[in-house]
Structure 1
Amino acid sequence: MTARPVAICCGEPAGIGPEIAAKAWAALRHDVPMVWLGDPTHLPADTPWTEITDCKDVDATDALPVLRHDFPAPVTSGKPTFENAQGVIDVIARGVGLVTDGDAAALCTAPIHKKVLMDGAGFAYPGHTEYLEALTGAPRAVMMLASDALRVVPTTIHIALADVPDALTPDLLRETIQITAQALRDQFHLPAPRIAVAGLNPHAGEGGAMGRQEQDWITDLVADMAEGGLDVSGPWPADTMFHAAARSRYDVAICMYHDQALIPIKTLDFDRGVNVTLGLPIIRTSPDHGTAFDIAGRGIANPTSMIEAIRLAHKMAQGA
């Protein structure tokens, strides 16, 4: 095992984050070094944990290593409090600092509740992706959802569907494809990634009959990038891109908006999907689900996505 651990941010303490982190540690403790950042009183009562002050002290596998970060208000499962919002934000920043400074190999973040952070601490970002972009100074971050079955990248993310056509520009799509291709080469170790681009409109516009973005500029942009040396094709009708035979022909699907990307991967592999942030100077993964307040504290949360997120972060850090 590498001496540097995967740093796990606690996320919203009233959600399932502490539970799935504890379960993931139990599943991976002999294979992946990790450290949990948060208030240990939020962990399930039966979790063995040990407080550490340095990421080098993570070799023991009989207790979850914890870098302690106390929160000001008591936590009741399923009921977030505004008083703890700033603590959630601070833990993310602390985790980024550990990876940036070289103390941790990668970052894995548990789910946050964006409205709680916005209302409780004035959080100014639509989500983790945009906040990590600001913390690391990255020009632009790109969100990928990845599993063994499929990798997808939404070009536009957390905006209303009505706003997508105006937000979707040639520069944005080109940059998304470029960042994705570079990350697949550098972090996923695919020397010549195959990229499939979805159309925006039904049937990829059907020659302009169902929308003109494909005809007016998407087709030309994809062709230009292919001429520049990328293995990129499209735009393809999104409704025929995600069956097994189609998926075998590409390594990643570039989609135009949030649900176009997330519906197929969550349908194909809901429990094992991992959120990966591309374009950052650090490795960051996250489980592909939310805080699940409705089941928090009941001990029934499925840790599979968190396990896969930690495993993938470790694998990427190892260059495997």
Structure 2
Amino acid sequence: MNAPTTPAPAGPLPLIAVTMGDGAGIGPEVIVPALLAPETLRRCRPVVIGDAERLRQAARLRDIACEIVTVGAPAEAEFGPGRINVIDLGLLPAELPWGELSAVAGDAAYQYVRAAARLALDGEVQGICTAPLNKEALHAGGHVFPGHTELLAHLTGVEEVSMMLATPTVKVIHVTTHIGLIDAVNKIEPGLVERTVRRGHDAMVRAGTPEPVIGVCGINPHAGENGLFGYGEEEEKIVPALEVLREDGIDARGPLPADTAFFLAGRGDYDLIVAMYHDQGHGPVKVLGLEAGVNLTVGLPVIRTSVDHGTAFDIAGTGKADAGSMIEALRQAAEMSPSPAR
């Protein structure tokens, strides 16, 4: 699938902090070609938070000639073809194996995100784009978070955020994410559904869709089919939120059967789908556009985008990783981030 073509920003290009993710995974290998891509340099000014030597190793693996330069702060970075700017935290040993679980790499991945969050809160960057981390390595490194979404919420002092997945054909925002299915159903309530839809609506407006049509999935098969399936969860947990949203002029439709909602979104009936739990949203999105998929965290004080794939330890260190999702993540970070103050 080809990413949509959008014009480059008219004003100063936003500075985007690009966290290197787990250094034992494919993050360094997708960052190097993505930051050198002409379409990236037309839209933003990316600065890597990570390990300069690991990026140099990745460039050699991919047989890419480039200049990887360490800088002390985003404001010190200079941009041009063939140059990658890195705030080098120097946390990885030079001999770190590719494709192996490492507590050292897990801790380093946390430190990259922590540094990027601080730069964003201080106004030194306008957006964050993250390469994948490995949750097991993150935990082994002493940082017990379910993933980037919850970690960034903690680091920025935000109580509630939403995960949005975006591909060229469909976008989906999640009411619940990294919890078990029974816990997810128990957690869903009208206020949470309403806040999630509002965050999705605001993100779509910011990205250039002024009046998004939003399809809201049900919880049960066939969205309960008028009480035939489940115990009235749709009427209790979702319908009251939709009534409030519609009164405020937000075009939120549903509850919809999830098995048809994504097909309808793929053909253009909906701009955004609201999934009630993790697999309800992730499965269809990964089928419809994993290669160009992007993960967004919505509700933070700064836009955050990420590739929609993992660390891929099975191919790390081979130079075979596809950089398409990272290029798309950078495009969306640039598109949704404000221009820096002059």
Matched, 1:306 2:326: yes
1:20–1:303 Cα contact (<8 Å) kept: yes
Match of 1:178 in 2: 198
Match of 1:15 in 2: 25
For residues 148-183 of structure 1, what are the alpha-carbon distances to aligned partners after superposition, in whole Å with 9 as ceiling and x for unaligned?
Answer: 201101111011123222121222212211222222
Match of 2:215 in 1: 196
Match of 1:79 in 2: 100
One-letter identity of the residue aligned with 2:69: T
Q: CA 1:229/1:248 → structure 2, altered by over 3 Å: closer, same or farther?
A: same
* TM-score of the pair, normalised by structure 1: 0.93
One-letter identity of the residue aligned with 1:280: L
Give the CA deviation at 1:106: 1.0
One-letter identity of the residue aligned with 2:29: E
Matched, 1:272 2:292: yes
Q: State which drifts further: 150-159 or 132-141.
A: 132-141
Match of 2:140 in 1: 119
Unaligned runs of 5+ in 2: 1-8
Which SS does the other structure have where 1:239 is aligned? Answer: helix
Distance in 2 separating the partners of 1:3 and 1:159: 37
79, 89, 93: which one aligns with 2:110: 89
Q: CA 1:7/1:245 → structure 2, altered by over 3 Å: closer, same or farther?
A: closer
Unaligned runs of 5+ in 1: none
Distance in 2 separating the partners of 1:188 and 1:146: 12
Q: CA 1:172/1:63 → structure 2, altered by over 3 Å: closer, same or farther?
A: same
Give the CA deviation at 1:318: 4.9
Match of 1:105 in 2: 126
Match of 2:16 in 1: 6
1:12–1:80 Cα contact (<8 Å) kept: no
Q: CA 1:245/1:42 → structure 2, altered by over 3 Å: closer, same or farther?
A: closer
Segments ≥4 residues shifted beyond 6 Å: none
Matched, 1:218 2:230: no
Match of 1:33 in 2: 45
Q: CA 1:194/1:55 → structure 2, altered by over 3 Å: closer, same or farther?
A: same
Which SS does the other structure have where 1:270 is aligned? Answer: helix
Which SS does the other structure have where 1:61 is aligned? Answer: coil
2:176–2:184 Cα contact (<8 Å) kept: yes
Q: CA 1:118/1:246 → structure 2, altered by over 3 Å: closer, same or farther?
A: closer
1:4–1:103 Cα contact (<8 Å) kept: no
Matched, 1:144 2:164: yes
Matches within 5 A, 1:228-247: 228-244=248-264, 247=267
Q: CA RMSD in A?
A: 1.8
* Amino-acid identity (%): 37
1:6–1:35 Cα contact (<8 Å) kept: yes
Give the CA deviation at 1:250: 1.8
Q: State which drifts further: 212-221 or 31-40.
A: 212-221
Give the CA deviation at 1:200: 0.5
* TM-score of the pair, normalised by structure 2: 0.87
